[in-house]
Each structure stands twice: as C-alpha cells, then as structure tokens.
Amino acid sequence: MKEPSRLDRFYEATDQVVTIERDSPPRVIFSGEDLLLEDLPVGTKVVYPRPPMAGLPNVKAAIRQAINRPEGCEPLHAKLRPGMRVTIALDDISLPLPPMRTPDVRQQVLEVLLPLLADSGVDDVHLVVAVCLHRHMTPAEMKRMVGPAIFDAFYPDRYYNHDAEDPDGIVKLGETRHGEPVLVNRRAAESDLLIYVNLNLVPMDGGHKSVGTGLTSYLGVKAHHTPHHIRKSHSYMDPERSELHRSVDRIGRVIDESLDVFHIETTINNRMFDGPLGFLMKREEQWGELDRLKLAGLRATLERLPAAAKRKIFQAVPAAYEVIAVHAGRTEPTHARILETSWRQYAVDVDFQADVLIYGIPFVSPYNVNSILNPLLVQVMACGYLFNFYRGKPLVKPGGTLILTHPCSDAFDPVHHPSYIEFFHRLLPETRDARVLEEKYEREFAENPTYVHLYRTGHAYHGAHPFFMWYWGENGRQHVGKIIAVGADNGHVPRLLGWDSAGTLAEAIDQARSVHGRGAQIAMLHAPPIVMTQNLG
C-alpha cells in the first residue's frame, strides 16, 4: 500500500468510503467493455469494495473437513451405502463472474467427493448442472468447470444439464402451506442422496435457492419470480429481508422433508482482477505511475477495437478468485455459515443515503457469460443487481436519481437470448409495467414452442427468462425517481427502458442536480469488484 503523504489523508487508504476533494484524482468507471476516467464533484462519496479476504491455504483439506464435520447432520461418509443412487447437482456458469481460474472450486469439491463415493461402493452417480431456466452449458464449458478427467468419465450420459422442460424429467414433491408447488428434477428426487455443490458469489445465492430453483421447472420458479415478490424484497441480496427468499425457503423446507439433501457450500473473495488488470483492485489514490500507464494503454487499446473484440479480451481473462470458506451439511445451518463470510467480504457500513447514485455497468452479468450484455441485461444490472447491493437501506434515497454508464447498444445474441429480442422490441414499446407484462405475455413466451425447442436443444435462455430479468429490476425502478444513462450509442434503448440520456457524466450530474438541487448528496458505488453497502440504522 502506498504510504499516505499526510495524516488527514490516511482515511483514503483505510476507509471504504472516500469523499472527493478538490485535488482528488479522477475515478475509473466501467462502461460495458470500456473504462471511463471521470472527475466527480467535490463532496461525492465513493464506496469502495473491501480488500480481498485471504484465501484458504488448502482448499481440498477444507472440503474434507467440511464433509467430515458437517453442520446439523452426520458426516457424508456415514450417509453412504454400497449400491445407493446419488445425484450431485452443481451451480452453473452464471457463478462466479467472470468464471474463475481453473481448477474451478466445483472441480476441487468433486475431486474429493467422487473418490469417497467410489470407495464407499457408490457407482450410480450422476452430475447434473442446475441450470433451471438458464441456458444449457456447452460441452467445453462443462469440461472447464469439472476438469478433463471427470468430464471424460461422466459426460454425456452421467454429466448433463438439467432440463426444466422435459415432460418426464420433473416430479412434484408437494406444496408449501402458501400453495407454492414444489417441483424437482426427477433424477434428483429419485436418488437416495442429493448432494448440492454450490458457489456463493453473493448472499442471494445458495441455501434453499440451490435445489429449489436450480433443479425445478418454469412453474416451480414462477412461484416466486414475480413482480410482487421483487417489490417486497429489500433487498434480494439480503435473504432476511427478501420476499423472494421467504418463498424459496418454504419450498426448500418441503424438499428437505422429502429428500436427503447434503449441501456443500463454498464462497470466494472478491479478487476479480490481478496481473495487468490488478490496478482495478486499487483505489485511485493508491495508483503509481505504472498503474496510470496501464490504464492509459488499456483505454487506448479498447478505444480502437470493435465491441466484439473488446468482449473477447475481457471474457478471456478469468478471475483470480480464491476460496475463503467451505461448509457442508444441512441446508440452513450450512448456508448461515457461508452467509457470515460472504457479508464479511462484501459489506461496507454506510450511514447515509444519497440523492444521486452513480455506478458503471461492467461487461458481464450472470446471464451473458461468453455472450453480449444486451439492453435487458444492462437493465437488470442497473435496476436489479447493482441497486440491490445493499443491506438495510438502499444507498440512494427513495425518489433519488440513478446515473449509470453504458453504451446501451441495441445488440442481442440470437443463440443465447432469442426470447429477449422479442421481449425488448415487441413488448417494451407497448408497456413497461411488470404486472401487465406478467399477466398478458409471460405464459405465451414460456410455452412458445420455438423458445422451448431452443432452450432444450440449443443454448438459449428459457422463453420466460426475459420477464424475470425485467421483474428483477422492479424494486430498483420502483425506488428511484429517475435513471440517466451516460454514453448510450443510440437514443431508443434508453427510451424503451424508460431512462433519460446524457452524453457525459457531468451532463448527467447537472440533470440530476436540476431535480435535487445544487446541494444534492452524490455517491458512487465503485464496482466491480463486488461491494455491498450496509445501512442498518
């Protein structure tokens, strides 16, 4: 860490919230695959991520320890009997972001699990990727996730994607006391033991959500993926205050009563960048000349490249995440332990709410790994994920202004997101009201034979998925008064999303001040890497 030159600047190197002063350096802000360097108004509070927690020195030892001393149940080896049927479900490629360096933590868990199962005489083992309505992973992606040895031994007959539209592949275990249907993958339901290997990137993930959503069908997800549930989630990154998670937990408890489920949950730190991009992990006050040169070089390169090439560059660099916790056992106690660590990594205490909140939309979301961050996904990042990165009170006041930076290009991937195209260009011009969209069109898209075919045989997100993406921005849309997109390369995408446009960040701040006054409190969430604010006052 660079030594602070003056004592009153010490906070800059230690606090996670930095207040911009007259001589503060400009801040780096993501704008898709570009990096902006922007001077912020004096008084702006910039919230930085916590430094990465130290990774576990021996991940496999931690995995063994977790499964031998699990939370709330007997050790895994005591559950195993020769000849039993075991299904191992795995989180899909949406976690983590960007994909981590190999070996992926799921591979490391499997390298411990599979020999243990084999030694116990358990040969009937299937690996199921719990994609739910996400796109099916490609063989190459599946191979990268578990390593070539496991892939070659299991793919394709015993290592495959969950198919939420297989008419014979889903069974109903029952209903919750709220009438939510509990629908689960047949192979998992008919196994003697279901082991779920998860990777918690953010506190929203894991717990009952793993089996309850990962291995269910459209009707199963439909129970809680609604505008109503999202409106009542404050936020959905905080399971205790999330209506979505309350529903998921009810469903999960029915699953736990019906099936023997053993969770192996893992979580990672926030070391998203290292090497040549390592300067993005530092705050700007800490940059040396070399860091500034690297940024200038990177920006000059990116400026000269087409969008597809820039995407390739960013997506070719896996993240340097390290595993910081592994716990195993029953669903709820295991997940509680993981959540503690996750919050320790991400939560930054704040005691204010801003009138104007600024953040950059990066190149990746959970739904465009190896693909395009299309306008609907820009929306879910802006109004959904990044807005929901809070615990307690949001970082922006009700009726405040959200300023985001992204080119908002009208580009979609027809292979991964075919139903998004119709949603965006056919439905949004008619209405942005999530409840109307749900009522009028969701089922039509969900049952569209073309979209079902593309989901089942190709690598397309389910026909209903764009609706869920729209709902996931619902609490953000309801909370803020105005959203301004900075740097959009067209006028119609922001307009269709219901946003204002500005050419520069300064122009957007002026627009926001015209609403909130010159004295408006401005804040910036300096992400990625992931940071969540905690305002429990």
Partner 1 sequence: MTDRAAFFDVDGTLVRTNIVHAFAYYAANQGSVLGTAWQTARTVLSLPALWATDQVNRKAFNELFYRFYEGQSEDRLVTLADELFEEVLRPAVYPGTPALLEQARRTGCRVVLCTGALDFTVRRLAEHLGADDLLANRMRFVDGRATGRVVPPIIEGAHKALALRDYCQREGLRLDRSFAYSDSISDYPMLAVVGHPTAVNPDARLRRVARAYEWPIIQTTEGTT
Q: Can you give the binding site for partner 1, defined by CB under 8 A?
A: 156, 160-161, 163, 165-167, 412, 414, 418, 421-422, 425, 447-454, 456-458
| Whole-angstrom distance, CA of residue 225 vs CA of residue 301 | 41
Closest separation between CB of residue 516 and partner 1, Å? 39
Nearest residue to 59 (alpha-carbon basis) of 115, 107, 118, 94: 107
Residue with smaller CB distance to partner 1, 345 or 368: 368
Closest separation between CB of residue 340 and partner 1, Å? 39
Nearest residue to 466 (alpha-carbon basis) of 480, 455, 479: 455
Closest separation between CB of residue 421 and partner 1, Å? 5
Per the DSSP assignment, residues forming a β-bridge with 47 are 17, 525
| Whole-angstrom distance, CA of residue 86 vs CA of residue 455 | 26
Backbone angles phi, psi at 501, to 5 degrees: -125, 155
Closest separation between CB of residue 449 and partner 1, Å? 4
| Whole-angstrom distance, CA of residue 251 vs CA of residue 498 | 35
CA torsion through residues 453, 456, 461, 467, sign: positive
Residue with smaller CB distance to partner 1, 421 or 506: 421
Residue with smaller CB distance to partner 1, 240 or 439: 439
Structure tokens at 175: 């209903």
Closest separation between CB of residue 114 and partner 1, Å? 22
Closest separation between CB of residue 135 and partner 1, Å? 13
Per the DSSP assignment, residues forming a β-bridge with 494 are none
- Cα within 13 Å of Cα(483), Cβ side: 28
Residue with smaller CB distance to partner 1, 306 or 449: 449
Radius of gyration of the chain (CA): 23
| Whole-angstrom distance, CA of residue 174 vs CA of residue 134 | 24
Q: State yes or no: cis peptide before 407, omega within 30 of 0.
A: no
Residue with smaller CB distance to partner 1, 198 or 374: 374
Closest separation between CB of residue 457 and partner 1, Å? 6
Residue 121, judged by CB atoms within 10 A of its CB (0-12, 13-18, 19+), counts as: exposed
Closest separation between CB of residue 480 and partner 1, Å? 30
| Whole-angstrom distance, CA of residue 498 vs CA of residue 83 | 57
Residue with smaller CB distance to partner 1, 30 or 159: 159
Closest separation between CB of residue 452 and partner 1, Å? 5
Residue with smaller CB distance to partner 1, 405 or 448: 448
| Whole-angstrom distance, CA of residue 526 vs CA of residue 48 | 5
Nearest residue to 18 (alpha-carbon basis) of 372, 259, 284: 284
- Which residues, 6+ apart, have CB-to-CB distance to 444 below 8 Å? none
Residue with smaller CB distance to partner 1, 452 or 485: 452
Closest separation between CB of residue 227 and partner 1, Å? 24
Residue with smaller CB distance to partner 1, 3 or 157: 157
Residue with smaller CB distance to partner 1, 166 or 351: 166
The 8-class DSSP code of residue 137 comes to: P
Is residue 44 within 8 A of residue 524, CB to CB? The reply is: yes
